[in-house]
A = this chain, B = another copy of it.
Amino acid sequence: MKYVNQPKTEKGQETLDKIILEAERLFSEKGYYKTSIKDITKAAEVGIGTFYIYFEDKHSLYQAILSEYGHFIRKTIAESVRTAETRLEAERMGIETFIRLVRKRPSMYNVIWQALYVDKKLFVDYYTKFSENYIKQILIAQEKGEIIADYDPEALSYMLMGITNFIGLRYAIFDDQTDLDPILDEVMDMLVNGIYTHNERME
């Protein structure tokens, strides 16, 4: 995280983690603009001076949180799909991992989507980085003949992110009790068979 001065001690790391945790909660509950640095330090039970050891201002703390989300989600998904033998298997594992992450940490959606008006560039960068990562995987799968080669990888990456994010919205944010297996089965069926009955195959 380039937006944060990394602590040098374990105690420092604990303090930083607490600041980030409380900021995440407050940004999610009250929104970025309505949350002051004072609100954050008060909730984290540290002095204002401590805040400035790690962050230049509220905006850099927000950037740090978004950057951490991005790394955390990509890393967790990459680890979860390591054993996948096909792109199809990897896709399912990746989507499942993402939805389970959101179930554990639903505030991520609130905090990320706020970027759209807090700092549009940050929001664009956030999804562009995800897309770039996805494009790499799609290109490999197209090279291997697993994904249809005609598809533009970028457009496809946004379709896949859209499916994952809205399935996450419904089955992690709106309601997190539904059994995920039948939902994931349906997502994969759709990615394998499309949605229509009488269709002409492309190849």
| Shortest Cβ gap from A20 to chain B (Å) | 18
A198 CA to B144 CA in the complex, in Å? 11
Q: Are A148 and B196 in contact (CB under 8 A)?
A: yes
| Shortest Cβ gap from A82 to chain B (Å) | 20
Residue interface mask A136-169, B partner, CB < 8 A = 1: 0000000001111111101110110111111101
Q: Which of A114, A152, A192 has the most CB of B within 10 A?
A: A192
A88 CA to B127 CA in the complex, in Å? 28
Q: Are B189 and A146 in contact (CB under 8 A)?
A: no
Chain B minimum-CB-distance residue to A118: B31
Give the residues in chain B near A152, CB-CB below 8 Å: 182-183, 186
| Shortest Cβ gap from A133 to chain B (Å) | 15
> Interface of A with B (CB < 8 Å)?
28-34, 87-88, 109-110, 113-114, 116-118, 124, 127-128, 131, 145-152, 154-156, 158-159, 161-167, 169-170, 173-174, 182-183, 186-187, 189-203
Q: List 7 A-B contacts (CB under 8 A).
A: A31-B117, A110-B117, A127-B169, A127-B170, A151-B190, A151-B195, A156-B195
Contacts A128-B174, A155-B186 supplied; 19 other A-B pairs, CB < 8 Å: A110-B116, A113-B116, A127-B170, A145-B197, A146-B196, A151-B186, A151-B190, A152-B186, A155-B167, A155-B183, A158-B169, A158-B170, A159-B166, A159-B190, A161-B166, A165-B166, A190-B194, A192-B199, A193-B199
